[in-house]
């Protein structure tokens, strides 16, 4: 639409850094799962500042890395919801437990709240621009409370495989998000270290 603005992932990072310093919290405060003092932006609090009431769902954390906008949701408990029947019970496939909340957080946080943020600080954003922004959604979960059906080394390998998307979130990949990941908290901790976003010295004492 004529008159709409175009933005990049880096511009969004700049907007958030310039206007939401009060929403910076330690990883431990945001996640309750990873005890690090490194600060990230709490996306829930950003959403609360944009919506005085009836705030849409938002993931817990937002940051930009390598020209990709990452939205991260932490779930320390069991992810419950609709149980899907396994078509091949002996194939090693798991029955997935899907909680609608984690899906709403991805879509509403990645589109509705993001659009409101850009409307406030930039102006009208072309819808196609919003869709084409390089976005990734990461769900971080506790493997001990959300075990798969496969056991032993196969189960461990599957949980550590970055291409394996659990909880029905794979349907959003390549449609609403460029990438969708479901990581155990241990894998996500190593992922952050691998991208130099946290280090051992920043770990909080127990």
Radius of gyration of the chain (CA): 18
**Among 53, 57, 71, which Cα is nearest to 16's?**
71
Q: What is the pTM of this model?
A: 0.80
Q: Mean pLDDT across the chain, nearest whole number?
A: 82
Evaluate whether residue 142 is within a structural domain. Answer: yes
With cut-offs at 50, 70 and 90, classify the pLDDT of residue 102. confident
Cα–Cα distance, 64 to 12 (Å, whole number): 8
SS (H, E, C) 6-30: CCCHHHHHHHHHHHCHHHEEEHHHH
Evaluate whether residue 2 is within a structural domain. Answer: no
Cα–Cα distance, 84 to 91 (Å, whole number): 15
Evaluate whether residue 31 is within a structural domain. Answer: yes
pLDDT for 51: 95
Range of the domain at 149: 9-202
Evaluate whether residue 1 is within a structural domain. Answer: no
Cα–Cα distance, 183 to 143 (Å, whole number): 9
Evaluate whether residue 4 is within a structural domain. Answer: no
Q: 14: which residues sit within 8 A by CB, 6+ positions away? A: none
Tens-digit pLDDT profile for residues 150-196: 444 445 544 445 557 777 677 677 778 989 999 999 999 999 999 99
Evaluate whether residue 116 is within a structural domain. Answer: yes
Number of structural domains, the chain? 1
Kindly state the greatest CA–CA separation across the chain.
57
Evaluate whether residue 123 is within a structural domain. Answer: yes
């Amino acid at each position: 639409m004529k008159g709409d603005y175009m933005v990049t992932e880096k511009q969004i990072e700049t907007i958030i850094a310039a206007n939401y310093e009060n929403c910076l919290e330690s990883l431990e405060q945001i996640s309750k799962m990873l005890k690090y003092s490194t600060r990230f932006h709490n996306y829930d609090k950003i959403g609360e500042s944009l919506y005085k009431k009836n705030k849409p769902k938002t993931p817990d954390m937002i940051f930009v890395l390598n020209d990709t906008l990452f939205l991260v949701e932490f779930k320390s408990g069991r992810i419950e919801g609709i149980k899907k029947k396994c078509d091949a019970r002996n194939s090693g496939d798991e029955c997935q437990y899907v909680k609608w909340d984690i899906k709403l957080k991805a879509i509403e946080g990645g589109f509705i709240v993001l659009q409101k943020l850009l409307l406030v600080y930039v102006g009208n954003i072309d819808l196609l621009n919003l869709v084409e922004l390089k976005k990734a959604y990461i769900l971080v979960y506790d493997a001990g409370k959300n075990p798969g059906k496969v056991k032993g080394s196969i189960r461990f390998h599957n949980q550590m495989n970055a291409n394996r998307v659990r909880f029905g979130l794979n349907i959003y990949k390549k449609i609403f998000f460029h990438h969708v990941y479901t990581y155990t908290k241990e894998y996500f901790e190593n992922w952050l270290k691998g991208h130099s976003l946290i280090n051992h010295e920043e770990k909080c004492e127990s």
